[in-house]
Amino acid sequence: MRKKLLLYLFVSVFLFVSFSCKAPRNNIFDPLNPDYNFGTIEGYVQTIGFPSTRIPSVSVIWQNANLITETDANGWFRLSNIPIENGNLVFTKEGYKPDTLEVIWGEAKSFFTQVFFNRLPTLDSSVIYTSVINQAVLQPITNLSVKAWITDLDDDIDTVYVISDNLKLKKSLNYFQNEGNYQTVVTSAEMGGNSIEETIGNDFSIMVKDDFDNKFVIGYNRVTRIIKDEITGLYPSGDTTISISSQPLTLKWNKFNEGFSFSYLIELYRREDLSSQLIHTEEDISSENTSYTLPFNLPAGNYYWTIWVVDKFQNRSRSKPVLFKIN
């Protein structure tokens, strides 16, 4: 009797399970329902530079359904129960170039991706200033100097430009490793014939193009003034000859009177046959001074010196070269 009862229970369970498995699955959220049409998107977001690192707190938006999530501490994200239809994922985070990924499902119900995020370069500082270079015979040379200090954690800068639409200017800057910055000098001819005077009050943008041809405007600057008045070196002057024993030599100049803050910059050169060599520079000399004594004696030879007036924005004007001789 007991064996018949066990057999009856076994048959009953078998028949129940068999018929239950064949029962129709009408729940659209049941993954085994043949009409189930929902999928999962997951993946990592990481930096494009080497070595690549995972990025947390990146906003991830599935535009079709306006579903939003964020990457975790390991740069991982997951969106579940998404209606399967082709669409776009949008990735955003402050300090990074936004990115869009097209998702095409095909026959799959899961989609995995690795997104490489491009960190934006940042402009640490920049200066744009005018220089007026007075010459002994020719007309003064006036130009524009641009310097930019840039941080790029992805190390993928291709070119840096200074741009002014008003002045029809777009010029690349060269990198100077010893100074750690990008810089260039702009002439009037490079501004569509506009004079340097017309730079005052105009905005100049600093733009970076990376190795992937992405372009980012990372900052702006403008010119504040042009120092047109000329300072004059008084002594030595006129190709003066100075005895080698009359040293140390004291350079003298006329007092420069302007209604703005400035300092002096002195440059001393030794003249060779067809060239010259800068042998001493002294900057940040007080505007109250009208003389400067060299900190060393000069050997016999031919020399010249110049003095610059430099304002707090680095705009500057240089005297004519002052020639002298030591023998």
Distance CA(309)–CA(265), nearest Å, equals 7
The domains of the chain, with CATH numbers, are: 26-117 (2.60.40.10), 122-222 (2.60.40), 233-326 (2.60.40.10)
- Distance of alpha carbon 210 from its chain centroid, rounded? 10
Strand pairing category for 276-285 and 262-271: antiparallel
The percent of residues in the chain predicted with pLDDT above 70, rounded, is 89
Residue 34 pLDDT grade (very low, low, confident, very high; cuts 50, 70, 90): low
**Letter string b/e over residues 24-37, b meaning 16 or more CB atoms within 10 A of that residue's CB:** eeeeeeeeeeeeee
Distance CA(152)–CA(243), nearest Å, equals 54
Residue 11 pLDDT grade (very low, low, confident, very high; cuts 50, 70, 90): very low
Closest-CA residue to 243 (of 163, 308, 327): 327
Q: What phi and psi, each to the nearest 5 degrees, are found at residue 197?
A: -55, -30
- The more confidently predicted of residues 258 and 95 is 95
Residue 275 near residue 233 (C-beta atoms within 8 A) = no
**Each residue of 189-214: pLDDT tens digit?**
888 777 888 889 889 999 999 999 99
Q: Is the peptide bond before 236 cis (omega within 30 degrees of 0)?
A: yes
Distance CA(166)–CA(92), nearest Å, equals 33
Q: pLDDT at position 17, please?
A: 43
Residue 198's region, left for phi above 0, alpha for psi from -120 to 50, else beta, is alpha
Mean pLDDT in residue range 24-40: 61
Poorest-pLDDT segment among 15-24, 55-64, 74-83: 15-24
Q: pLDDT at position 23, please?
A: 47
Is pLDDT at 142 greater than 70 in this prediction? yes
Q: Is 6 helix (H, G, I), strand (E, B) or coil?
A: helix
pTM for this structure? 0.78
